[in-house]
Amino acid sequence: MYIYNCIFTGKEVFSDAYPNKIEDDFVWIVEGKYEELSDQIFDESLFGGYKSEQEATSEYKPVVNTLLRAFRLEEPVTITSLNDFKKALKKYTVNLIAKLNETNPDRVAVLKSKLPKYAKEWAEKFDKIRVYVTEGDGFEVEGTFIILTQDVPFGEEKPDEKCKMTVLTDSLVKEKF
């Protein structure tokens, strides 16, 4: 099994245990889905209340994204608008170009030629995507961008609905696990 880590933070982004493919020799497309957590039982005791004998325990079963849960990906708190997204993407691109100049200079030209197409698409669909980063990077946003898309509106997910994660291939390091 292989784990794909962020080139900047060293944290996990995804593994080959999930269906994935490289598109356009530029981005990884990783397929995930939503699942219902069946081991969670919520009652008032979680909030300092006491369970009375008359009350039935209500079982709330949250629906979670398998990719986000498995790799503890976080939504950056600093990206709340399209303008924030564009600024953060520009910073990320500058950092990635500097890193590639050190590690793989031949890929800089590929990045410069292909990223505008994806950046434009993400900006145009900003209301229909979610941006994620690796664990612990939700405030600084120093690492790779992870773009999540799905067929249903965010917040309306149901078990077994699919989602896709898009990550630049050059922002990852492959590690045998």
Structural domains in the chain, sorted by start: 2-43+59-176 (2.170.150.10)
Distance CA 154, CA 151 (A): 9
Please indicate, yes or no, whether the overall pTM of this predicted structure exceeds 0.75: yes
Alpha helices (runs of H) in 1-80, residue ranges in sequence order: 66-71
Per-residue pLDDT in tens (0 to 9) along the chain, 177 residues: 999 999 999 999 999 999 999 999 999 999 999 999 876 555 555 566 665 555 555 566 788 899 999 999 999 999 999 999 999 999 999 999 999 999 999 999 999 999 999 999 999 999 999 999 999 999 999 999 999 999 888 889 999 999 999 999 999 999 998
If DSSP codes are grouped into helix, strand and coil, which group holds residue 44? helix
Number of neighbours of residue 127 by Cβ within 10 angstroms? 8
